[in-house]
Amino acid sequence: MPSPIAHTAAGYVVYKFYGLKEHKVFDTVGNNSTAFILAFVFSLMPDLDVIPAFFAGNVSYFHNNFTHSLGSGLIVALIVGATCQMIQGRGFKYWSILALLCYELHVVMDYFTVGRGVMLFWPLSNERYEPAITVFYGLRRSNGLLTLDHVWTLINELCFVLLLLILMRTYEKLRLNMSG
């Protein structure tokens, strides 16, 4: 899995292009700071499976299994949307899409990481899928946190963040040019 650096960067992009754009509709409870915080939470949510893994002392059994699937993202998104709808009396679509985008991006990014692949199509299949080309070097937990491997992880993910920033800036410039 990539580190929280890459995952939260992806969550920020979702916030910037979806969360921020729509927030005006929800100026009571769902203001943009709520969307900002939730985008970060949802972009890291699949990795909460490390908590039971830590307490059970069995990482491979709990971590990166059914939690890392498109199906789990859909279930989480529906629960989030329904909960927000109950609280606000509206906003099912907005919040479920925000959760869905952030959660599924996490799953897709883990898919493109060096490792054992992800159970992409759970619950339809328990098969793990691995891509032909990986994008992320990922964390190497078995080697401990302070390992030279993680220098590469850091460089890899900072390059990813830089690429996202360049793309976002370019998009903003193009949009300004078009509207001006």
- DSSP bridge pairs for 113: 136
Select 67 or 96, whichever has its Cβ closest to Zn ion.
Answer: 67
70 binds Zn ion (CB under 5 A): no
Select 19 or 46, whichever has its Cβ closest to Zn ion.
Answer: 46
Residues in contact with 29: Cβ distance below 8 Å, sequence separation at least 6, in sequence order: 87, 88
Residue 168, Cα to own-chain centre: how many angstroms? 17
Select 30 or 138, whichever has its Cβ closest to Zn ion.
Answer: 138
Q: Which of 110, 115, 136, 150 binds Zn ion (CB under 5 A)?
A: 110
Select 40 or 94, whichever has its Cβ closest to Zn ion.
Answer: 40
Describe the chain by its helix, strand, coil percentages, rounded to 5: 70, 0, 30
Termini Cα distance of the chain: 42
List the x/- string, 28-67, binding to Zn ion by CB under 5 A: ------------------xx--------------------
Shortest Å distance, C-beta 38 to Zn ion? 18
Q: Which two tokens stand for residue 124?
A: 């339809």
Q: How far is CA 12 from CA 25, 84, 126, in A?
A: 19, 20, 30
Select 20 or 50, whichever has its Cβ closest to Zn ion.
Answer: 50
Shortest Å distance, C-beta 179 to Zn ion? 37
The identity of residue 86, as a single letter, is M
Shortest Å distance, C-beta 72 to Zn ion? 11
How many residues line the site for Zn ion (CB under 5 A)?
Answer: 4
157 binds Zn ion (CB under 5 A): no
1 binds Zn ion (CB under 5 A): yes
Judge contact between 31 and 19, C-beta under 8 A: no
Residues in contact with 115: Cβ distance below 8 Å, sequence separation at least 6, in sequence order: 1, 64, 138
Select 96 or 113, whichever has its Cβ closest to Zn ion.
Answer: 113
| Contacts to Zn ion by CB under 5 A | 1, 46-47, 110
